[in-house]
Amino acid sequence: MIVLVVILFAAGASHAQLYRWVDDKGQVQFGDRIPPQYSKNGHEVLSEDGRVIEQVEREKTKEEVAAMEAELIRQEELRKAREEQARNDATLLRTFTSTEDIDRTLEQRVSSIQSQINRDQATIGGLDYDLRSSLRKKKQYQTNEEVVPHQLVLNISEIRSRLRTLDDEIMKKKELQLQIRTELLSDKERFLELNNKDNTQASSAY
């Protein structure tokens, strides 16, 4: 009976896991259990013949976890940016067939807005004339010490408001012209890059 107990104990001991870790002095330690103070520092699980059967990484700090999460977010943003760039490139190549085509589109869009600006400026010229005329009438009433008609005052106010609105609209249209020019010139540059890339790949294939 005693012999049987000894045999069972020896069998159980032979299958006990062996761990290897490094203590706070940098010394490699072995044992069938890891001291609590080293449990988060990472360790190796060894087989009976001393082979590493499992590598347990040390527990990461809050700063390391935050850095990993930030890196995952950055990688996801890069992935989305690449996908969006691919979609934009496909649209660009479907929309234009040559750089000349882009130049024509740029000229057409800018010219169309310029025509609107020219009409606004012509309207401003007419309103300026009306404003000067109305101001002269107002001054004449004041010179004669007469009451300025309420309708005349309203007209002057409305003309000035209309002039301010037109000035704002012209400014916005000029900004739109600049935006269109910037975007299409960027498209032209990207178009050349994509075509040069395709040509390079085609040449390397031969």
Closest Cα partner for 19 from 35, 43, 2, 38? 43
What does the alpha-carbon distance between residue 58 and residue 40 come to, in Å, rounded to a whole number? 5
Instruction: State the pLDDT at residue 55.
Output: 84
What does the alpha-carbon distance between residue 46 and residue 67 come to, in Å, rounded to a whole number? 31
Length of the chain: 206
Closest Cα partner for 57 from 39, 42, 35? 42
Q: Residues of the chain whose pLDDT is less than 50?
A: 1-14, 205-206
Instruction: State the pLDDT at residue 1.
Output: 41
Instruction: State the pLDDT at residue 83.
Output: 97
Instruction: State the pLDDT at residue 32.
Output: 85
The two tokens of residue 55 are 């590598």
Instruction: State the pLDDT at residue 52.
Output: 86
What does the alpha-carbon distance between residue 142 and residue 98 come to, in Å, rounded to a whole number? 65
